[in-house]
Amino acid sequence: MSFKTAPRAAGITLQQLLDESAWFALLTPAARAQVLADVVERTVVAGDALIRHGETALWWNGVMEGVMKWSTGTRAGRSVTLGGLTVGSWFGEGSLLRGKPVQADIIALRHSRVAMLPKNTFEWLYETQPAFGRFLTNQINERLHWFMGDFAAHRVLGVEAQVARALTGLVHPWLNPGGDLHLQISQEELANLVGLSRQRCNQALSQFKAMGVVRTEYGGITILDIDRLTALTAVE
């Protein structure tokens, strides 16, 4: 996997997001023009939902700014975090392709801006742009592989490995392609992503700092050794 190492601005424009999205470059000029004409921007304040479990999927979404949490839960109040979404991440294609209600909540952990491509435009791209369809197949495959590993990790690995997995997920080249090794995420937000108390998450981060694999600072975490951090998530 390849990773960006230079910090980037948290917020970008719609045009910048599209220009930096691998799928956009695969489209014909006419298709790119149609996307630009149809895509809109939405702001989601911290704690609010972009979409809730059970709602009808009407958009394909890309994060322009902020951090969002993808989670699902039960009526009894128990929840499971499926992953974090940062700048450059496009998501929601599964629900659009299935044509069934969304099976998760997408919650903003901080002030976030999201690009939203209408369902009709998404379906038109899927039907008329073969390269777009191949991109979606690859992305869904990568996400499935990640979820399988996540399921195994939460069953057999300890807290430290779960925290490490959350961090590496935020720089995954498919799930969060805009991420760099300097993560603009607080320790509290990371704990929220993992589903742990801040104290327990900080204990894991302290171990990582002692190992020399991460550095923490106000409002951010820098991954110093991605290979060693990834090795901590391996299910043997």
pLDDT at 38: 98
- Render pLDDT for 108-165 as a digit per residue (tens, 0 to 9): 988 999 999 999 999 999 999 999 999 999 999 988 888 787 777 777 778 888 899 8
Q: How many CA atoms, within 13 angstroms, populate the side-chain half-sphere of residue 123?
A: 11
Shortest CA distance to 175 belongs to which of 221, 142, 152? 142
In Å, what is the CA distance from 113 to each residue of 3, 11, 33, 62?
23, 8, 22, 9
Could you tell me which residues are beta bridge partners of residue 216?
221
Separation between Cα atoms, residue 124 and residue 119, nearest integer Å: 9
* SS3 state of residue 236: coil
pTM: 0.81
Q: What are phi and psi of 45, to 5 degrees?
A: -80, 160
Which residues does the chain have with pLDDT short of 70? 1-11, 73-80, 179, 235-236
DSSP per-residue string spanning 154-168: HHHS-HHHHHHHHHH
pLDDT at 235: 61
pLDDT at 1: 39
Q: What are phi and psi of 83, to 5 degrees?
A: 160, 170
pLDDT at 133: 97
Sign of the alpha-carbon torsion through 193, 198, 203, 206: positive
pLDDT at 145: 82
